[in-house]
Chains A and B, each alone.
Chain A
Amino acid sequence: MGVKKGIYFGTAFSLLVFTMILSISAGAVKIPLQEILNVFLGGGSETSRTIILNLRFPRAIESAIVGMGLSVVGTFFQGLLRNPMADPYVLGVSSGAAFGATIAIILGLGIFGLSFMAFITSLMTVFFVYTISKTGTRVSMTTMLLAGIAISAFMSAIISLMMLLNHDEFSQIVFWTMGGFSLINWNHVAYSTPVILIGSFVMYVFSRDVNAILTGEEVAEHLGVNTELVKKIILITGSLVTATAVSVGGIIGFVGLIVPHISRLIVGPDNRILVPFSAISGAIFLTFADLLARIILKPMEIPIGIITAAFGGPFFLYLLIKSKQKSEGM
């Protein structure tokens, strides 16, 4: 790694630490710095302790972990599917999760039943899409994209129908699909962190192989890469990470789409460097977005999806315009 990249990583890492500290210090309730320090030294009032240790702290960690996981998966999916529009939800994880969540809400399964149900149905959806796009031992990426879109459309139709028939649960379903971390506690952190961290690391191990696949599958095979195996591992691990992220924070759009693009602009396309950089950037982005969601209209919170889309939408348009200019220039 060159000096320049060292500087990028140093800056990104410091920014992450800074964002985490900011996220724990700031919120709807104003707590003086002295009191925050007291809390970490084992003192402080009961209210401050609850707010900082049981609400803000797990929330800051969870948003960082989810942001990291979604960005890593987005980076790999964009590379593997060779499609800049790919995001972690491209294989139907989000509609599958929303479907499970809707069923759980209608059946009144409670908040933990909901997470579990969302997790299971999202993996089932991915498995279905995967099976459809498999011909023999090969997986067609184009079929996969199309199948993902088709099943998403189908499931959202079913979800709308279920909402029509269950007006009372309507707002719950809608707002779950917007995503957010308002009720995150240490239990969520305890189960999601290992899955997302290990999953991201497993994918990272295959960075070099994915680099080769990016230059073309045949080339990669000549270089001795088992492309089908790599694709399968990345798709399955990526969907597992996404499903875990969705089960704790709902469907948070745009993070897994824009963070990889920003990171690619900064450190280039080599996955061995791009992936860890995306991971840190994603953590910063989502922690910061969550902080904004908490404080912009305090004591009201806004769904985090609004914040990420407010950043993501214009940025995406900018990318589109830029790529258009590039092709016109050629």
Chain B
Amino acid sequence: MRRFKGLLALLVVFALMFSLAACSTNNATKPQDTSQTATETVKTQFPLKVTDFLGREVTIEKEPQRIVSLAPSTTELIYALGAGNKVVGVTDFDNYPPEVKNVPKVGGFKGPNVEAITAQKPDIIFASTLSGKEQMESLEKMGIPVVMLEAKNIDQIYQSIKIIGQITGTEKKGEEIIKEMQDKIKEINDKVKNLPKVSVFYLVSLDGNWTSGKGTFIDELINLAGGKNVAEDVNGWAQYSVEELVKKNPDVIITSPHAGDVKDIKNMAGYKDTNAVKNDKVFVISNDDIISRASNRIVLGLEEIAKFLHPEAFK
């Protein structure tokens, strides 16, 4: 029994770390100097110095040929940039693009596995704040450069793209991706920005009534899609008071595909009385990776949310 509780406590800590790391806004982790990345268009010169999201200067001696990525969002970006063939290690959570299934797994649930990582002989590691400080330090001591990427908003995704582009010699492609993303965001935002704001509640999980508050990608996407997150009065992922939800009375409820049965949600005391349920405006997002991962696919999530909120603008 006690052992069981201990294990649960551990799992909860993991889950909390996840939600915190995935969702909280922390300006301290902003990259400090990226001006040089933006202006450089010629082929990257090695040895290369980059400043990562922790503000550390990392020196990379030669163009990496064996890349380990410890975050699914980073993996997605590396593949989007066309350097996917150099990826030799990813985490258990990686599922996109589909070919990533064949890449060896070097970490996951219990953090990165230093042995499995070194066995892949990487010449660069892209880590996140979830990757475990000690493990990363021991890898750095072996002479493997570790670059920390931790984008908390769309602007920071652009920074990640620039950093990865510079390191993998795919800066041109990176600029194209950023341009595409910016164009798509502008296109969607132009359609909805003059329409009346729609109030939205995003349900992460019915058990515990979990939502995504301020500082999450979901909050940013709702705003860009012409909505207003009713849970913007909480930070990051949080269990939201059902009575507060009744009072805020959202026009639209969007749920994660793992939140629970939509029928259950519509029949739930409190939920039943919201405008969203009364007007049949409860939507399930097709895939929660596209609204929570710091990758270029986030614009797909934005488009989906915008269509939920303002279907009239997308006819």
Contact = CB atoms under 8 A, between A and B. Distances in A.
Contact of B233 (A50, A294, A299): A299
A300 B234 contact: yes
Contacts of B15: 170-171, 174-175
Interface string B227-262: 000010110001111111011010000000110110
A163 B11 contact: yes
Given A47-B247, A160-B11, A54 B270 contact: yes
Nearest to A53: B269
B47 to A, nearest CB: 38
Given A55-B269, A171-B210, A299-B234, A89 B1 contact: yes
A185 interface: yes
Contacts of A174: 8, 11-12, 15
A302 B258 CA distance: 21
Nearest to A168: B258
Contacts of A89: 1
B208 A182 contact: yes
A117 to B, nearest CB: 13
A175 B258 CA distance: 13
A110 B258 CA distance: 11
B208 A303 contact: yes
A301 B249 contact: no
A172 B269 contact: no
Contacts of A301: 208-209, 238-241
Interface string B193-205: 0000000000011
A237 B210 CA distance: 34
A55 B207 contact: no
Interface stretch (A149-157, A196-204, A213-221, A239-247): A149-157
Nearest to A178: B12
B140 interface: no
Contact of B244 (A46, A94, A298): A298
6 contacts: A51-B270, A58-B269, A149-B3, A183-B268, A294-B241, A303-B239
Interface of B: 1-5, 7-8, 11-12, 15, 18-19, 92-93, 108-109, 204-210, 213, 231, 233-234, 238-244, 246-247, 249, 257-258, 260-261, 263-264, 268-270, 273, 288
Given A171-B15, A301-B238, 7 more contacts: A27-B241, A55-B246, A56-B243, A87-B1, A110-B261, A182-B239, A299-B231
